[in-house]
């Protein structure tokens, strides 16, 4: 198993401990002092490394032993564990973290999926909403008069994406810039839905999680595992 975080290989992270080595770790003050360039460098490296660890789910690291390990490495002191044992310990820990995260995602997804299913059932009863065989729901906001794209086509669109709560998570309108992409390179709900549209049309899609991101939404997104996604999409052009 490959260790994906860079904490144990970045020489820059080791450099940050040089500035801490003169301090008694028992008297370590967690309030940063950014009065010098070295202070700012130290803080920046520490924050970025901590952010990477948090993203990996490594939120239960003991700081006293963490700093002790770095200081021994910097001073070239023989470690308390041999290298093979350290690598095996880290690998085992990362497997536990990944298993825990997977369980948490699945539990969260079940709750979110249940809310989404209730929304879709109610939404499907609307007179202006149609449901495809896959479960994709859509509403025609404005019909177009141009051609329909195929799954292999590249299209130019404007779009706005929201959760069932109405919270917006993405919008080309907000960026004031259209988006262009191949239809076979997006979530299944888009690939299917845009093939129903003609150039110039605007549709609203209600996409079940299995046709969206399932239990693996984009990193650092407000989209939760199992989320139903709502997109208003304007098909501007089919690229040649």
Q: So where are the chain's domains? A: 11-80, 116-238
Say whether domain 116-238 belongs to CATH 3.10.50.40: yes
- Give the model confidence (pLDDT) of 90-140 as tens digits: 888 888 888 887 787 777 778 899 999 999 999 999 999 999 999 999 999
Tens-digit pLDDT string for the chain (240 aa): 444 444 444 444 444 444 444 444 444 556 888 888 888 888 888 888 888 877 777 777 777 888 888 788 878 888 888 888 888 988 888 888 888 877 877 777 788 999 999 999 999 999 999 999 999 999 999 999 999 999 999 999 999 999 999 999 999 999 999 999 999 999 999 999 999 999 999 999 999 999 999 988 998 899 998 999 999 999 999 997
d(CA 87, CA 39): 31
Tokens of 215: 């239990």
Tell me how far the alpha carbon of residue 214 is from its chain's centroid.
12
d(CA 159, CA 235): 9
SS3 230: strand
Q: 177 with 171: CB under 8 angstroms? A: no
Cβ neighbours, 10 Å, residue 18? 13
- pLDDT for 11 equals 41
d(CA 131, CA 32): 55
- Give the model confidence (pLDDT) of 24-35 as tens digits: 444 455 688 888
Residue 166 Rama label (left phi>0; alpha psi -120 to 50; beta): left
* 121 Cβ neighbours under 8 A, 6+ residues apart: none
236 DSSP 8-state letter: E
- pLDDT for 231 equals 98
Tell me how far the alpha carbon of residue 41 is from its chain's centroid.
27
- pLDDT for 53 equals 79
C-alpha angle 16-56-216 in degrees, rounded to nearest 5: 150
The closest alpha carbon to 211, from 153, 131, 152, 144, belongs to 131
| Tally of residues, the chain | 240
**213: part of which helix (H) or strand (E)?**
none
- pLDDT for 33 equals 81
d(CA 159, CA 171): 6
């Amino acid at each position: 198993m490959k260790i994906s975080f860079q904490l144990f290989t970045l020489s820059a992270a080791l450099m940050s401990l040089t500035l801490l080595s003169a301090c008694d770790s028992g008297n370590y003050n967690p309030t940063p002092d950014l009065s010098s360039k070295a202070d700012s460098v130290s803080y920046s490296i520490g924050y970025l490394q901590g952010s990477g660890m948090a993203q990996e789910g490594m939120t239960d690291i003991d700081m006293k032993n963490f700093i002790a390990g770095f200081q021994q490495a910097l001073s070239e002191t023989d470690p308390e564990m041999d290298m093979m044992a350290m690598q095996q310990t880290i690998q085992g820990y990362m497997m536990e973290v990944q298993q825990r995260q997977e369980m948490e995602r699945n539990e969260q997804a079940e709750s979110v999926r249940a809310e989404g299913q209730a929304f879709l059932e109610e939404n499907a009863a609307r007179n202006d909403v149609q449901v495809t065989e896959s479960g994709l729901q859509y509403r025609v906001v404005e019909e177009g008069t141009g051609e329909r794209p195929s799954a292999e086509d590249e299209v130019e669109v404007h779009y706005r994406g929201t959760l069932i709560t109405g919270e917006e998570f993405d919008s080309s309108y907000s960026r004031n810039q259209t988006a262009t992409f191949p239809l076979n390179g997006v979530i299944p709900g888009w690939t299917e839905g845009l093939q129903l549209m003609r150039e110039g049309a605007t549709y609203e899609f209600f996409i079940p999680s299995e046709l969206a991101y399932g239990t693996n939404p984009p990193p650092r997104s407000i989209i939760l595992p199992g989320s139903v996604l709502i997109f208003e999409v304007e098909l501007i052009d089919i690229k040649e």
